[in-house]
Structure 1
Amino acid sequence: MENTWETIKKNCVDQFEKRLEFFIGKLKKIRSDRISLETIRGLKINYQGEKKPIKIIANLRISPNHELVIQAFEPNLTSLISKAVLDEQLGYKQEKISKDEVIFTLLPMTGEMRKKLIKDVKEIIEEGKKFFRLIHQDIKSALKKDKNLSQDQKKNYEKQGDKLFKDYQDRFAVAWEKKIKELSS
């Protein structure tokens, strides 16, 4: 039978992993000076009466000329795709549209746009830190409630929980520092 600490640890690691993945995903969706497929992968297109992710109805790639190329699986979708990408105001400019392909370039970022995006990143950072603290508090609370553990065991496990918390916080910090550096340069 698994001991209580192992169960608590496993649950918290699962939560930390999910939250880390979620917040890193949010950071990747924020544009920088380079075209990133992450910024539009989740974009929804009205197709056959329902909203579908763009990756289901088109192939996405970055050309050797650093252009975003979206190749529709059906020729009649290019205008829908083009409209959806431009409506999202992600900083893309349509360069060319053909019956099965739309090509976009990235508009240069203005100082005002950089400030807004850095502000968005900082909001994601604060939100992420808050969730990591909540998970950390859950660890401490679960250990306090456990009557089967001695005080020494609780202190030992709490230290392990603190280390887990710090490890995930550090991994998150690496991701957001990288994003802020991208936006600042």
Structure 2
Amino acid sequence: MDEEVQIILDSTKESMDASISHLEKELVKIRAGKASPMMLSTVMVEYYGSQTPLSQVSNINTPDARTISVQPWEKNLLSEIESAIMNANLGFNPMNNGDMVIINVPPLTEERRIQLVKQAKTEAEDAKVGVRSARQDANKELKALDISEDLLSNAEVDVQELTDKYIKKIDSILTVKEAEIMKV
């Protein structure tokens, strides 16, 4: 196969991989019933004048399935961490016991589970759009090349096979996440 065609296929695969990894990062943020330190991954704390991820100024643990504990490395950060968690709009009500911030993760209602599944489906659809966009870009680049009709049609078939493979991967990731969210 032509070297230029292979380069286009490789860059398309990289774009599609990026869509998958973005989807996985977004799905981690959607909580599925049990407490996880990743639920606080978006929380930023004011630390010596700069916004710093919560995980870089404290230890975040889950002592049980319904509790997250945040142990700051410096005691004076307790109120800062507490307000940062509240301001992050995660739906948590943190409590400060003087040593650490404790967050009780409420169980999900059926209605909330359905909302989270819809959110997960939206993220999956966004990932599919990214994959299809990569396919479209690849096909444009292939048509711009000075290659034979046979080579062009074979390359377009390869791009479509890649697209189908990644769409299936997205669907399977979504199915796993849906089951995780709906499990009581």
Name the TM tier (shorter chain).
Answer: 0.7 to 0.9
Structure 1 CA distance for aligned equivalents of residues 170 and 24 of structure 2:
7
* Paired residue type of 1:150: S
Match of 1:168 in 2: 166
Question: TM-score scaled by structure 1?
Answer: 0.87
Structure 2 CA distance for aligned equivalents of residues 162 and 25 of structure 1:
25
Match of 2:52 in 1: 52
Q: Secondary structure at the match of 2:36?
A: coil
**Where do 1:133-144 residues align within 5 Å?**
133-144=132-143
Q: CA deviation at 1:97?
A: 2.5
Q: CA deviation at 1:25?
A: 0.5
Match of 2:75 in 1: 75
Match of 1:156 in 2: 154
Match of 2:176 in 1: 178
Given the superposition, is the C-alpha separation of residues 26 and 164 from structure 1 closer, same or farther in structure 2, using an over 3 Å criterion? same
Structure 1 CA distance for aligned equivalents of residues 93 and 86 of structure 2:
7
Match of 2:114 in 1: 115
**Where do 1:30-69 residues align within 5 Å?**
30-63=30-63, 65-66=64-65, 67-69=67-69
Structure 2 CA distance for aligned equivalents of residues 32 and 69 of structure 1:
18
Structure 2 CA distance for aligned equivalents of residues 131 and 143 of structure 1:
18
**CA deviation map 1:75-117 (0-9, x unaligned):** 1112221222233343434466333x22222101123322322
Structure 2 CA distance for aligned equivalents of residues 24 and 14 of structure 1:
15
Number of matched residues?
A: 181
**Is the 2:79–2:96 Cα contact (8 Å) retained in structure 1?**
no
Structure 1 CA distance for aligned equivalents of residues 32 and 145 of structure 2:
47
**CA deviation map 1:4-39 (0-9, x unaligned):** 112101211221112211121011101110112222
**Is the 2:69–2:102 Cα contact (8 Å) retained in structure 1?**
yes
Q: Secondary structure at the match of 1:92?
A: coil
Unpaired runs of at least 5, structure 2: none
* Paired residue type of 1:21: S
Structure 2 CA distance for aligned equivalents of residues 132 and 52 of structure 1:
32
Identity in percent: 24
Unpaired runs of at least 5, structure 1: none
**Is the 1:93–1:107 Cα contact (8 Å) retained in structure 2?**
no
Structure 2 CA distance for aligned equivalents of residues 86 and 97 of structure 1:
16
Question: TM-score scaled by structure 2?
Answer: 0.88
Structure 1 CA distance for aligned equivalents of residues 123 and 144 of structure 2:
32
Q: Could you say what the CA RMSD is over the residues aligned between the two structures, in angstroms?
A: 1.9
Structure 2 CA distance for aligned equivalents of residues 29 and 4 of structure 1:
38
